[in-house]
């Protein structure tokens, strides 16, 4: 075994600091170097101790979490996992845009069961930080075009760790073709997916909503799979609709990227487009096989830009991925593809 991963815990609650330290050090592969009770102290300790990973509470005295992230990412970019309550959803997405690696939602009630779930999620994300690459900052696109009434080109997107900013950048690149319809399966707790959709709706060129069962897929619309449920594409009476079934015990992820991609392959055939962005695990690998068997387009984010090159790597390893692109190129290339298909259809 190599050297343990080192962690700095930043939280103004002594109870939370003790709990996080206990959970982290339940693995002999992790060592908590130290803790800090506010952002100012935390910034000094990060620069001095140079931990592999930082856990960060956003609501702190003296120097808040967002200011801490701005300063840290300029001075010494380090993987940061935000520990947040469900009551501060918008703060979480701002933190991700400022460079946080990922987030974990505090359980609303502390029980042995919720603590064990928190322990597993915390360790999974700390271990994933070994493979983190810092991404570039990006500005928000302006809402601009109004879609016409043609049938949309549907693009299915899967993402996990590092996904929220990556999805935003993809949509910014796709803005020149606002007739597209984008279906996003992003691994995220159920209490956060609606807030994620609302944030993208405010800052991007598309209408963005959390998907509801029975939604008719419309041009210029982005649908975010609801956390804890799947999103699948269906065809009914000549139109495309979405279904949001609940998970079954065998499902590892809900929402599942594989389920989304497989449904797109079944409904769209060779017109299916599946894109795998940054994330941990192998979700999406089986789905790209299904899309490719039908002759569809299967793209993956390159190792150069993926925050975690887990999901794209697994998809590429299947041999079913047709293009591997840097994140900033994906949206632009999707816009070109949509434009070519729209012209070929005479729309």
Q: How far apart are CA 142 and CA 273, in angstroms?
A: 25
CB atoms within 10 A of CB 58: 23
Record the tokens describing residue 121, joined without a space. 């999620």
Q: Which helix (H) or strand (E) holds 248?
A: none
Angle between helical axes of 257-268 and 285-293 (0-180°, round to 10): 10
Q: How far apart are CA 281 and CA 274, in angstroms?
A: 17
Record the tokens describing residue 175, joined without a space. 């803005």
Residues 6 or more apart whose CB falls under 8 angstroms from that of 51 comprise 6, 7, 8, 33, 78
Residues acting as catalytic residues: 160, 187, 283
* Nearest to 324, CA basis, from 338, 311, 341, 342: 311
Q: How far apart are CA 122 and CA 132, in angstroms?
A: 15
* Nearest to 218, CA basis, from 209, 231, 226, 227: 209
């Amino acid at each position: 075994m190599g050297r343990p991963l080192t962690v700095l815990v930043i939280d103004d609650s002594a109870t939370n600091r003790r709990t996080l330290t206990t959970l982290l050090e339940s693995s002999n592969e992790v060592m908590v170097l130290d803790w800090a009770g506010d952002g100012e102290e935390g910034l000094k300790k990060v620069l001095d101790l140079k931990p592999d990973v930082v856990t960060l509470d956003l609501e702190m005295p003296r120097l808040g979490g967002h200011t801490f992230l701005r300063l840290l990412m300029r001075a010494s970019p380090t993987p940061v996992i935000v520990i947040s309550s469900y009551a501060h959803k918008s703060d979480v997405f701002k933190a991700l845009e400022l460079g946080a690696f990922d987030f974990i939602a505090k359980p609303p009630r502390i029980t042995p069961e919720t603590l064990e779930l928190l322990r597993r999620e915390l360790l999974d994300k700390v271990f994933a930080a070994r493979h983190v690459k810092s991404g570039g900052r990006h500005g928000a696109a302006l809402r601009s075009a109004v879609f016409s009434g043609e049938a949309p080109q549907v693009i299915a997107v899967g993402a996990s760790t590092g996904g929220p900013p990556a999805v935003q950048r993809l949509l910014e690149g796709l803005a020149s073709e606002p007739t597209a319809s984008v279906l996003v399966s992003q691994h995220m707790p159920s209490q956060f997916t609606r807030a994620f959709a609302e944030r993208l709706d405010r800052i991007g060129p598309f209408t963005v909503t959390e998907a509801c069962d029975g939604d008719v897929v419309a041009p210029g619309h982005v649908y975010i799979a609801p956390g804890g449920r799947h999103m699948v594409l269906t065809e009914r009476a000549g139109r495309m609709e979405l279904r949001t079934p609940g998970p079954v015990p065998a499902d590892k992820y809900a929402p599942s990227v594989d389920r989304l991609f497989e449904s797109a392959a079944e409904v769209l055939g060779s017109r299916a487009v599946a894109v795998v962005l940054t994330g941990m695990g192998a979700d999406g690998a089986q789905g790209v096989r299904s899309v490719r068997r039908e002759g569809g387009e299967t793209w993956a984010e390159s190792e150069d830009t993926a925050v975690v090159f887990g999901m794209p790597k697994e998809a590429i390893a299947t041999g079913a991925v047709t293009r591997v692109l840097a994140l900033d190129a994906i949206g632009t290339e999707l816009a070109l593809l949509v434009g070519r298909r729209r012209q070929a259809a005479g729309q």
